[in-house]
Structure 1
Amino acid sequence: MKDEELKQSSEEQGTEETTAGKAEEVKTEPADEKEAEASEAGETSEEADAADDDTEKLKKKYEAEIADWKDKYTRLYAEFDNFRKRTEKEKIQNFDFGARDVIEKLLPVVDNFERALGTVEKEDEEDAFTKGVQGIYKQIQKMFEDLQVKAIKAEGEKFDPSLHNAVMTDTESDVEEDTITQDLQKGYTYKDQVVRHSMVKVKK
Structure 2
Amino acid sequence: MTNKDKYDNDGLTPEQATETQEPVNKHSHLPLEEQVAALGEELAGAQVEVSQNLDLAQRAQAELANFRKRTDEERISLGKYSNSRLITKLLPVKEDLDLALSHIPESAPNDSWLEGIKLIQRKLNSFLESEGVAEIDGIGAIFNPMEHEAVGTEDSTKHPPGQVIQVVRAGYRLHDRVIQPAQVIVAREPQGEDQSTSSPESKETEDE
TM-score (norm 1): 0.55
C-alpha offsets along residues 36-71 of structure 1, whole Å, 9 cap, x if unaligned?
xxxxxxxxxxxxxxxxxxxxxxxxxxxxxxxxxxxx
Q: Is residue 145 from structure 1 mapped to residue 145 from structure 2 by the alignment?
A: no
Number of the residue aligned with 1:53? none
Counterpart CA distance in 2 for 1:192 and 1:179 is 22
Counterpart CA distance in 1 for 2:160 and 2:68 is 52
Structure 2's unaligned 5+ residue stretches are 1-62, 189-208
The answer to whether the Cα contact below 8 Å between 1:166 and 1:200 also exists between their aligned partners in 2 is yes
Q: 1:106 to 1:173 in 2, by over 3 A?
A: farther
Deviation at 1:172, TM superposition (A): 4.2
> One-letter code of the match for 1:158?
I
Deviation at 1:90, TM superposition (A): 3.8
Counterpart CA distance in 2 for 1:181 and 1:83 is 46
Deviation at 1:153, TM superposition (A): 0.8
Identical counterparts, % of pairs:
29
> One-letter code of the match for 1:147?
E
C-alpha offsets along residues 89-136 of structure 1, whole Å, 9 cap, x if unaligned?
444333334311111111111110111111111222512222111111
Counterpart CA distance in 2 for 1:189 and 1:107 is 11
Q: Is residue 112 from structure 1 mapped to residue 86 from structure 2 by the alignment?
A: no
The answer to whether the Cα contact below 8 Å between 1:125 and 1:131 also exists between their aligned partners in 2 is no
Comparing both structures, which one devotes a greater share of its residues to helix? 1
The answer to whether the Cα contact below 8 Å between 2:81 and 2:174 also exists between their aligned partners in 1 is no
Q: Is residue 175 from structure 1 mapped to residue 159 from structure 2 by the alignment?
A: yes
Number of the residue aligned with 1:200? 184
Matches within 5 A, 1:157-168: 157-168=141-152
TM-score (norm 2): 0.54
Greater displacement, 128-137 / 85-94: 85-94
Counterpart CA distance in 1 for 2:69 and 2:161 is 48
Q: Is residue 129 from structure 1 mapped to residue 113 from structure 2 by the alignment?
A: yes
Structure 1's unaligned 5+ residue stretches are 1-78
Number of the residue aligned with 1:18? none
What secondary structure is seen at the aligned counterpart in 1 of 2:94?
A: helix
Q: Which portions of structure 1, spanning 4 or more consecutive aligned residues, are displaced by more than 2 angstroms?
A: 79-98
Q: 1:173 to 1:120 in 2, by over 3 A?
A: farther
What secondary structure is seen at the aligned counterpart in 1 of 2:82?
A: helix
Q: 1:174 to 1:81 in 2, by over 3 A?
A: closer
Q: 1:200 to 1:125 in 2, by over 3 A?
A: farther
Deviation at 1:181, TM superposition (A): 0.6
What secondary structure is seen at the aligned counterpart in 2 of 1:122?
A: coil
> One-letter code of the match for 2:104?
V
The answer to whether the Cα contact below 8 Å between 2:135 and 2:173 also exists between their aligned partners in 1 is yes
